[in-house]
Amino acid sequence: MEAEITKKKIRGRPVRSIEEGEIAQAYLYMLWGASAFAVMGALSHLAGERCGWQIVAAARTSVAFVFSLAVAFAWRVRLVLLRPRVLWMRSLVGSVGVLSAFYALTHLPISTALTLSNTFPVWVALLAWPVLGERPTASVWVAVVAGLAGVVLIQRPDAQGSYLASFSALGNAVCTAVAMIGLNRLRGVDARAVVVHFSGVSTVVCLALLVFSGAGVDYVPLGDARLLATLVGVGLAGAAGQLGMTRAFALGNPSKVAVVGLMQIVFACAFDLLFWRRHFDARMVCGILLVTAPTAWLLAHSPLRRSASIHLTN
């Protein structure tokens, strides 16, 4: 009898209420992560108005590497370098995604960049067929077509340079989908070790791009303390978003929690409206809705394992 009571109650509270509390915490952590990534996007756009986008990307990856490495050492996580090979695929493809993402964030309104970047569930659904043998159902095809229609509406041909930046944001989404499918096959590697590996590789890639870009990068404003603080803020906001989302996936159902992560698009729209006085016409609003609604549905019905979601919070 006593054992039964102990089973039903922990520290005087019903087990069910504790589980509900963890679910609520998972959603709060995901909101924290979504808001932090939206702040990262806003700071990236602000920094990109004053320096080269390559510098913004390097700031994000280097701060994330230091942060993730410190966390790994604090928790005595066993780090990995050469194996498994899928980690290198994830890190290299993810590094291309980082470059694409920050080019888009510094050349597009942040709401547009984040909306297009969050179309990765659409590409997961398409790529899972030839790679995983997961043939899309009729409802998945409807979601995919609706999402792609939203992308077409969001794209504004009258905006200078928007085509390349929009394709960069979509390229980031495709890279995320490829990495997600690859990580679906990963076994036995701590998520924190994966983040350290990715952050280290992406830092090297971004710094190499800085070197090879040469005179094409504007370094002059880097003497400005305000700009330096903004660049550090980009890295810290990205690290905070990574921490919040990782914790959210650890506590809650990944499919349901991931949908809440789309709130970063709402936060980004608010930032565009408040700080950049951006006007959202009917075409743009319809495009964002056509992307986010099917994306949320595809996230909730993703065939991929939980670990893939956790490892992608970088």
Helical ranges in the chain per DSSP H:
2-8, 15-48, 53-74, 85-107, 110-117, 120-132, 138-154, 162-183, 191-213, 225-251, 254-260, 263-275, 282-300, 306-311
pLDDT of 184 > 80? The answer is no
pLDDT of 256 > 80? The answer is no
What is the domain count for the chain?
A: 1
Percent of the chain whose predicted confidence (pLDDT) is above 90 = 24
Print the domain residue range for 33.
17-311
In a domain, 158, yes or no: yes
The string of pLDDT tens digits covering residues 190-229 is 777 878 888 899 999 999 988 887 656 666 566 678 888 9
The span from the CA of 92 to the CA of 15, in Å, is 43
Residue 39, pLDDT score: 95
Per the listing, tokens 């590497």 go with 65
Per the listing, tokens 């390097």 go with 58
In a domain, 6, yes or no: no
Averaged pLDDT, 298-310: 61
In a domain, 12, yes or no: no
Contacts of 220 (CB under 8 A, 6+ apart): none
pLDDT of 248 > 70? The answer is yes
Record the pTM: 0.83
In a domain, 28, yes or no: yes
In a domain, 104, yes or no: yes
Q: What one-character DSSP code corresponds to residue 14?
A: E
Query: Among 51-65, 145-159, 192-206, where is mean pLDDT lowest?
Result: 145-159
In a domain, 259, yes or no: yes
The span from the CA of 183 to the CA of 198, in Å, is 12
Residues in a beta bridge with 14: 9
pLDDT of 119 > 80? The answer is yes
In a domain, 2, yes or no: no
